[in-house]
Amino acid sequence: MMASKMYLKKQKAANVDKLLSVGVTLDSFPNMMELIKPYPEIMASCGVHPLDVESAFSLEQFKKYVANDRVVAVGETGLDYHYQPETAELQKKRFEQQVEVAVGVNKPLIIHTRNAREDTLSILRNGGADKCGGVIHCFTEDLPFAEAAMDLGFYISISGIVTFRQAKELKEVVKQLPLERLLIETDSPYLAPIPHRGKENQPAYVVEVAAYIAQLKGVSLSEVGEKTSKNYQDLFLR
C-alpha cells in the first residue's frame, strides 16, 4: 500500500491525472475495488484474462460487477494462444460471453490478443463489438490488424514495448497510425519503458511512452498528451 501511494504521488507530479485499474479475474475484483476506493481519479474495468479462464466464473456475478459505476470497461479479455493454446476453446467461450455483456451495457472492451488475430477479430465482428468499441491493449500486431480493429471502432494502445530496441516493426506501425486512434499505457507493473527497463513499471512512466511516440511521429509531446487524453475521455468516460 505504501508503494502504491508513492507511485500515485509520482504519477501526479508527472501530470498523469487519470488511471485505469484493469481486472483480470472475478476473484480479485472485490479487493481491487477496495484498494481504489479512496482514489476517485482511478477508474476500473472488470474482466477475465485469457490466461485466467480456468479461474472461478459466474456470468451473473460478472454482470453484477460490470454494472458498478466505477467500472468503465469490460476486460481484460481476449485470446492468448501463445502461452495457453490448450485452453483455446474455453478462452473463446469466455471471450464471447464478455463481448456480449459489454455490448449489452455499452461499455468498451479491453482486448488482449496473442497468436490469435483471426479468431480475435472474428469474435469481435460476430459479437457486434463495433457497437461498444474498445481498445487493443499493449499492441504488438501488424498494420492490417490495427486497421481491422480501427474499422470496428477500436483504439490502439501502445505500451513501453515501443521504446525497446528490437521493436522495429511496432515502431513502423506506430508511425502510420493516426493519433486520433491512439492510447498510451504502462501495463504496470510490467514492461517498463526505456530508460526504466528492468525496473517495476509505474503510472508516471507513461510520459516516457508518450515522448517516444512524439519522437517517432515528429510531433510535440503536448500534442500526443492532448490527443491521447481526449481519446481516453471519449472511450472510457463517455
Name the binding residues. 76, 112, 137, 187
- The identity of residue 63, as a single letter, is K
d(CA 193, CA 212): 9
| Binding positions for a divalent metal cation | 76, 112, 137, 187
134: left (phi over 0), alpha (psi -120 to 50) or beta: left
